[in-house]
Structure 1
């Protein structure tokens, strides 16, 4: 068992944080596990929506939802992060009624990245991917005023390869 999800209710708002499986290499058991994990997560997400409470699902989904959410490259073509099955898992959450906070605030932004691999000088070249997301229930999405990515944190000393996403 892997610790990948934590949830708390604070003042009537449910905050869920997740670190979804990467799924590489693909094909194989790790990719199968990723898809099964997302299927179980989607079922739980439906239950959360059904409560009627304001809910935020936040974290590293390990999915690049759309081609514009990754820099122009062919090096990720076989990667689990960009596969049609992975993208379908993310789209299924949106279809449930969740709002992608970053895309709500920046609907046309092309370089909306949250992750830059340490290898191949990707941070200075802004060769990133959008893996980290905050999905909001309708009740919470109505209150959305702003969202963003703290890129400065990624550029600091000894940073994570991910930058924080906020609402």
Structure 2
């Protein structure tokens, strides 16, 4: 199975690029974040014409998440939102079953400023994620959690640690919660399974040529259940889709795995 996660930073603005990606890369499943569309405006017909069915959790100009599955792979039992998230109307989590795997996609809030109410909301969202994936693990359901989690797992995932001192995305509170999600959910970081020591990034600020200067963060993840981890054949960042006209500030992240 071929699964990709991608924060597209507006599906309407990036729809031609997404359709190009589906045509040229043909993933089985595409997990999207920051779709930024109203529910009534989600491009179901365009995606279906491209050979993909979709479930989505949409709430207008902010956030929004979706799961796309290639025609022939049924999307079943979709569910939106997380018990315990503070701003449930922001549309930051959706899940569905594809090919016997519970696919979950998340767009974690930025947190803005350490110690702020926004930061507390971010920590609460991580806690809600941890509780949900732990529940799925207890049920014995194989899981893939993908998305923009807005946290770096460790200092390898930051282009310059000193530049982020005192900022969000690097704090012990955020990183500890990510580790709890991974540990309690019985998950493994697919990128680190394949690239244990590499420093590569999934997000680059639009400003000051950060992409071309290699000044980024690894904040997008594909976390796979232990039962699936042995089948991981490759996992990589598709940097070419961060290039071109009006790109997203994130590159897609892909995992290819053999199912047990």
DSSP 3-state at the match of 1:158: coil
CA deviation after TM superposition for structure 1 residue 95, in Å: 2.0
CA deviation after TM superposition for structure 1 residue 84, in Å: 0.8
Q: Could you say which residue in structure 2 is the equivalent of 1:29? A: 117
TM-score by length of 1: 0.95
For these two proteins, the number of residue pairs brought into alignment is 166
Contact 1:53 1:139 in 2 (8 A): no
Q: Could you say which residue in structure 1 is the equivalent of 2:194? A: 105
Structure that is richer in strand per residue = 2
Cα distance in 1, alignment partners of residues 235 and 142 from structure 2: 17
Q: Could you say which residue in structure 2 is the equivalent of 1:160? A: 248
Matching of residues 1-167 of structure 1 within 5 Å: 1-96=89-184, 97-109=186-198, 111-167=199-255
**What's the C-alpha RMSD, in Å, of the aligned pairs?**
1.1
Q: Kindly provide the CA deviation profile for residues 135-158 of structure 1, in whole angstroms up to 9, marking residues without a partner as x.
A: 001112121111111001012221
**Structure 1 residues not aligned, in runs of 5+:** none
TM-score by length of 2: 0.62
CA deviation after TM superposition for structure 1 residue 53, in Å: 2.2
CA deviation after TM superposition for structure 1 residue 89, in Å: 0.7
Higher RCO structure (Cα 8 Å, ≥6 apart): 1
DSSP 3-state at the match of 2:90: coil
Cα distance in 2, alignment partners of residues 56 and 70 from structure 1: 24
Give the structure with higher Rg (CA): 2
CA deviation after TM superposition for structure 1 residue 73, in Å: 4.6
Cα distance in 1, alignment partners of residues 208 and 99 from structure 2: 44
**Structure 2 residues not aligned, in runs of 5+:** 1-88, 256-260
Cα distance in 2, alignment partners of residues 159 and 76 from structure 1: 24
